[in-house]
A and B are shown apart, each in its own frame.
Chain A
């Protein structure tokens, strides 16, 4: 039987909801950063499977909802990028206070836009899953949602929003949050010294698309760890976050377990050194 605890805890601005799966003998911690907006809904079922896997690996997992999203308190139009980042850092500090075991941060898709140096300083390993660091591109895709929605429902009633807010595809947020996300990019991070794994969807025998290849190369540029550079894993599986049906991506989940194992080995080796 899995030991799972659903709880509310005090975040920077209000109560946040989280699920903690804690095995009897905790050998490490994995904090999952939920990606943003629709991606949060499209990834949650896979996060659950992933958390069950890491439980079997002897790792505690924490999945939480950002302030103003999911079951956490607040509304989206009451939050900001800074606030979300503060909540993540506070959780990492809390884990670190209570344990000497390694902490791995699992960052999927647009959750990479939340990463900052304060988080990287508190973790022992970084797991990046099809990470999207390009805030400008994310913002562009988000704005396109509104255009596409108009195609489908040209006469749909528009949300009425305040002057400092915007509404896109049913999400009402502060313009400031949108602009903050838009400005995020890899170059904003200091050199990364933490052991790191990068999981990327790639069709076998095909090269990465130019955009993704450039994205990965740029990230490698900020990986300062020479002895243990960021390890790349190619995934040939369904892109579960894009599918209109719920898909589980078993090959991805198996590869993720390997990546976590590798991270733990690297972390232990680094501590011995």
Chain B
């Protein structure tokens, strides 16, 4: 899966968890941590669980960092790094 496909799949997960934004709100550049009010600890953990299930990967606890959750793009990079 390439970066574009990963971003698309992540956006699908994000819109499921945080449904109150229009489709055009979401892109690779959309900022997450600290930028979206709904992006709280519960949302982060829910998203991590969904990513692990849908991408068949397992995150380390160290992966739960502000840097990795800065934007959709940084999250996609994290997913791709764990998929390799």
Interface string of A233-248 (1 = CB under 8 A from B): 0000011001111010
Complex Cα distance, B45 from A38, in Å, reads 12
Check: A141 CB closer than 8 A to any chain B CB. Answer: yes
Number of interface residues of A (CB under 8 A): 22
Knowing A210-B56, A211-B52 are in contact, say whether A169-B41 is a contact too (CB < 8 A): yes
CB distance A148 to B18 under 8 Å? no
B contact patch SS: helix
CB contacts (< 8 Å) of B40 on chain A: these are 148, 152, 244
Shortest B12–chain A CB gap in Å is 9
CB contacts (< 8 Å) of A243 on chain B: these are 16-19
Check: B27 CB closer than 8 A to any chain A CB. Answer: no
Shortest A167–chain B CB gap in Å is 14
Number of interface residues of B (CB under 8 A): 26
Interface string of B35-76 (1 = CB under 8 A from A): 000101111111011101110100001001110010000000
Nearest B-chain residue to A146, judged by Cβ: B41
Nearest B-chain residue to A151, judged by Cβ: B66
Check: A231 CB closer than 8 A to any chain B CB. Answer: no
Check: A161 CB closer than 8 A to any chain B CB. Answer: no
**CB < 8 Å neighbour of B42 from A145, A210, A238:** A145
Nearest B-chain residue to A38, judged by Cβ: B42
Interface string of A21-42 (1 = CB under 8 A from B): 0000000000000000010000
The residue in A141, A148, A210 that gathers the most chain B C-beta atoms within 10 A of its C-beta is: A148
Shortest A260–chain B CB gap in Å is 26
Nearest B-chain residue to A137, judged by Cβ: B49
Nearest A-chain residue to B16, judged by Cβ: A239
CB contacts (< 8 Å) of A239 on chain B: these are 16-17
Nearest A-chain residue to B68, judged by Cβ: A151
Knowing A141-B49, A210-B56, A211-B52 are in contact, say whether A149-B41 is a contact too (CB < 8 A): yes
CB distance A151 to B41 under 8 Å? yes
CB distance A238 to B16 under 8 Å? yes
CB distance B19 to A209 under 8 Å? no
Nearest A-chain residue to B42, judged by Cβ: A38
Check: A261 CB closer than 8 A to any chain B CB. Answer: no
Check: A96 CB closer than 8 A to any chain B CB. Answer: no
Interface string of B8-44 (1 = CB under 8 A from A): 0000000011111000000000000100001011111
CB contacts (< 8 Å) of B41 on chain A: these are 145, 148-149, 151-152, 169
Listed A/B pairs (23) with beta-carbon separation below 8 Å:
A141-B48, A144-B48, A144-B61, A145-B41, A147-B64, A148-B41, A148-B44, A151-B44, A151-B64, A151-B66, A152-B40, A169-B41, A169-B42, A209-B56, A211-B53, A242-B16, A242-B17, A243-B16, A243-B17, A243-B18, A244-B17, A244-B18, A244-B40
